[in-house]
Each structure stands twice: as C-alpha cells, then as structure tokens.
Structure 1
Amino acid sequence: MRAAFRHAALPAGFAALLLLAGCGGSDTPAPTFKAPTYDYLTKLRLNVGQVQIVDQIPPPGPSDLSAQSPVQPVDAMRIMAQQRLVAAGNSGTAVFTIDQAAITGQPGGTLNGTLAAHLDIIGPSGGHNGYAEAHVLRQFVPGTNTDNDGLKTELYNLTNQMMSDMNVELEYQLRRTLGDWLLDASGAPIGATVEQQNLAPPGSGSGPSAAPAATAPALMPSSSSVGAPVQLAPTSTLPTPATPVAPMPTQATPDLNAAGPTQLAPPPQLAPQPAPQNTPPAAATVPGTSPPPGFLRLPNGYLAPSGGTP
C-alpha cells in the first residue's frame, strides 16, 4: 500500500512543479522605450546669436495616435533640434518651427506618420534672411513591415524610423539652402570657397607659393635666370655686308608691240649623214676574252679634220 501511494503521489507532485515552471516562464519583462539622442552627431553650427524652438502642430484629430506612443513624435523633434542646432554667431536668431508631428491609425491597423519643420534666420533688425524646410512620411502595415508587437511598440518603432529620416533630411536642407549661415568648429563659414596662399618674395621665381610671372618679350631675359646677365646688341645697329652685290644682268626681251616684224635667226642646218654601209658582223666573243685583232673602217664620205689623214 505504501508503494502504491508513493507512486500515486509522484505524478501529483510532478504536475505541481510543471505548473510552477509554467507560471514562471510566462513572466516576460516589459519592453523599455528610450528617448532618442543625437549627441553623437555633428553639430549644425549656425551664424546666429540664439536658437529658438517653436511648436505649431495642429490639434490632434480623432484618428491621431501620437499621444499613445511611448515617445511622442513632437518630443523627439524637440530633442533633435536642441542637440543638433547650435548658435555659434554673435547676433540674429534661428527659429526652428515644428509644423507637423502626428501618427494616424487607418483601418486594418495601418499607421501613417508625418513630420514637418522649417527653420527661419531672423536678422538683428527683424528682417528675414534665410529659410529651409524638411518633410518626412512613413507608413507601417501590420504583418509586412515588422512583427506585430503591440500598438505601443509599433508606434515607438515608427517614431524612431521617422526621426532617422528627419535627422538626415534636415541636415541636407540646411546645407543646401542655408550653407552660407553654417560655421565650422573654428568659426569660419563652411560655404567659403576662397583659399589663402602665401606669396614668395619678388624675384624668387620658384616654390609652391610663388606668384605666376608676367609674360615678357622673347628677347628679354627671365628674372629667374642663373649666372651673368645676357648682353643684347641694340636693335638699331645691324651688320651690313662689306661689298655690295652687283645686280644680275637681265636679257632684253623682244617688244612685240614695236613697229615692224621681229626677225628671228633660222635654226642651224645639220649636214646630211651618209647611210651606214654593210659591215661584216663582229666575231662572237667569249665572255672574259678580248676580241680578235682587226682594222677599224670609217664610213664612206667621211672627211678627216684638216691637217690629219683619212
């Protein structure tokens, strides 16, 4: 009986342990929602004496769920402006105005987020000197963008995504439209394009900082030449030839317009040449040997020069 009771009580105790283990496993920690921070990013240093943040968002509508977000979009926008916009000048005011910061719910659980802001540069006398604006739109669709982790988590994630886009968009618009009002860490304007360069003393003629030399005539020596100066002959004194050159004689050409025909000399008459006589064919010669001895016969009718023999 004791053995049977012992075996019967064991399953009951084991079931109690399983029940306690199941209760302990269901206690999951609640999610934590931290406010965004932008201290690690580059400061946008404006050439103004102060920065003001103004909230001008319209009243929430019936479908506006921004108030249920652990970090409301309007608060995130204010944190971004406080941590990124810095007054680095002596006068003037930069007014950062929050125009829209809302998340509205749609049928089926879809969430639409909208952020909008603009920045005005106001001079010391109250004049408007610059303007920039930024807009961001985001949408969350349940089951497609992220897992469904509850409405608060979805609102928080959508707010962080919108603020990541707004942070980039605001800096881009400021650099694009208000670049002349941005300063670097040393206080110099970022948009300045003039570079400083030291000039070398006159006459050095070399070095990376030497000024370009003016264009000089080809005959003048350069100021950077090394050695003794070059002596140039005066341009007015030029060497002349020792003896004058006689002009070439020219032949007179007949004047075709003169009176009377022009008599031209007849061409020389050539003496008729007698026809060649038949001569015996020359003996064939073997290459490399002299021709056989013989007599040279003159053609008939040939007259030897005076004083000679035919």
Structure 2
Amino acid sequence: MPPLLKALLPALLVLGLASCKTPPDRQQFPEITFQHLQPFRLDVAKVEIVDGYQPDPANDVGNQFPEAPAAVARQWGEDRLLAVGGQGVAVYTITLAKATQTPLPRSTGITGMTHKDQSDRFDLQITVNLEVRSGGKSGAVTGQASRSQTVREDMTLNQREAVLFRLLDVGMKDVNAQMEKLIPRYLGGFLR
C-alpha cells in the first residue's frame, strides 16, 4: 500500500463512518393560524399588538415547541382583530406565553429496567389581554389557557415535538374559544 494512502486511510474511514450517521428527518408541522375564522371587526382606527412577555431562558422552554407560544398568541391577534373605524385604538397584549418542563420521578431497580415511565411534564400558560378605547368609552377582556402534558422517556424527538405541537394548538384553541365568548359579551359596543 502506498504511504500516502496509508496516511489518509484513517481519515477516509472516519469520513465514511460519519456519512453513515444522518440525522433523522424533522417532522414538519402546519403553522397555527386563525385566518379561517371571521375577524372581530373593531370600531377603532388601529390595532396595536404588544409582546408583553419576555421569556426567561433559564425557566422557559418555548423554544422546544415547533412554534414559539408567544408567536402563535401574536398570530391570533393579527388574524382575528381588524380595525374598521375612524378613531380609537385596540391594544392586544400577550402578557404570558410561558412553557416549562418538569422532570418526573422515574422507576428504579428492576422496575426501572422493565417499565417505561413518563419522564417529563410540559406546562403551557398563555394569557392575552384586549383593551379597546374609542369615542370616550373603553373596555377590556382577558383570555387564558393553562395546559399540561407528560411525555414518555422513550419518545423520539419527532414524537415529543408532536406532543408539544398539540399542546400549543389546543391551548390556543382554548384562548380563542374564550375570546369568542368574551369579546361579544363585554366589547360588543365596539364591534361592527
């Protein structure tokens, strides 16, 4: 064997083995939007959307979700709130869009070897506030959602992301359902 080939052989083997290790395909999730729903036509000149929640990277795992909870809460305001008046303002504020992960106790000993435990609990809390001021009148409503979901220790990354996607989707459906009841009831005078 030529000396050059002998010298390159270890590097070629490493490259060959490394090329065999392809990461798994990441699952693609649909974007969570509310464009399919009728917007609330508000008698105001403009709608302001305020990102009032700043996640603490040490305590918030929203970045593990396929979409950030705050971004989906913002999307709700963009899709559902429409200014159709000549004066006044509606301020939609995302006050909380927090996701946390809590490790759960696991079985030990023989049971730990034969039993698959729920390894973590994900908690999602979303709170949004809509305040409307127009024509000397004002009103406000608040929508909230709080959901939790556990995951098994043997879940793949794709399975875990699917659980987080469903958790966020259902949580925002909760917020949407609340706002659909609250806005006509308490802000009906501002609807057109």
For this structure pair, what is the TM-score category when the shorter chain's length is used for normalisation? 0.7 to 0.9
Residues 60-105 of structure 1 show CA distances to partners (whole Å, capped at 9, x for unaligned) of: 2523100222200000011111011001111100000000001100
Does the CA contact (< 8 Å) of 1:148 and 1:154 recur in 2? no
- The answer to whether the Cα contact below 8 Å between 1:49 and 1:93 also exists between their aligned partners in 2 is yes
Q: Deviations over 1:133-175 (max 9, x none)?
A: 11110000225xxx94434333222111211111111221111
Q: State yes or no: 1:140 paired with 2:164.
A: no
Aligned length: 154
Aligned pair partner of 2:95 in 87, 93, 99: 99
Query: How far apart, CA to CA, are the structure 2 residues paired with 1:62 and 1:29?
Result: 28
Aligned positions of 1:107-256 closer than 5 A: 107-108=103-104, 109-123=120-134, 129-143=138-152, 148-150=155-157, 151-183=160-192
C-alpha root-mean-square deviation of aligned residues, in Å? 2.3
When you count strand as a share of all residues, which structure comes out higher? 2
Distance in 2, matches of 1:173 and 1:61, equals 32
Return the offset for 1:122: 2.1
Determine if contact 1:110/1:140 at 8 Å carries over to the other structure.
yes
> Is residue 67 of structure 1 aligned with residue 63 of structure 2?
yes
Identity %: 29
Amino acid at match of 2:61: L
Which of 53, 59, 65 aligns to 2:49? It is: 53
Higher radius of gyration, 1 or 2: 1
Structure 1 stretches of 4+ moved >4 Å: 26-29
2: distance between equivalents of 1:128 and 1:59? Answer: 33
User: For the Cα contact (< 8 Å) 1:112–1:140, is it kept in 2?
Assistant: yes
Structure 2 residue identity aligned to 1:168: A
Which letter does structure 1 place at the counterpart of 2:188? G
1:85 and 2:81 matched: yes
Task: Go from structure 1 to structure 2 and tell me whether the alpha carbon gap of 1:68 and 1:128 turns closer, same or farther (over 3 Å shift).
Answer: farther
Cα separation, partners in 2 of 1:135 and 1:35, compared to 1, 3 Å: same
Structure 2 alignment gaps of length 5 or more: 1-19, 105-119
Structure 1: runs of 5+ lacking an equivalent: 1-22, 184-310
- Give 1 or 2: higher helix fraction: 2
1:225-264 residue CA offsets vs partner (Å, 9 max, x unmatched): xxxxxxxxxxxxxxxxxxxxxxxxxxxxxxxxxxxxxxxx
Matched residue of 1:40: which SS?
coil
CA distance in 1 between counterparts of 2:101 and 2:23 reads: 30
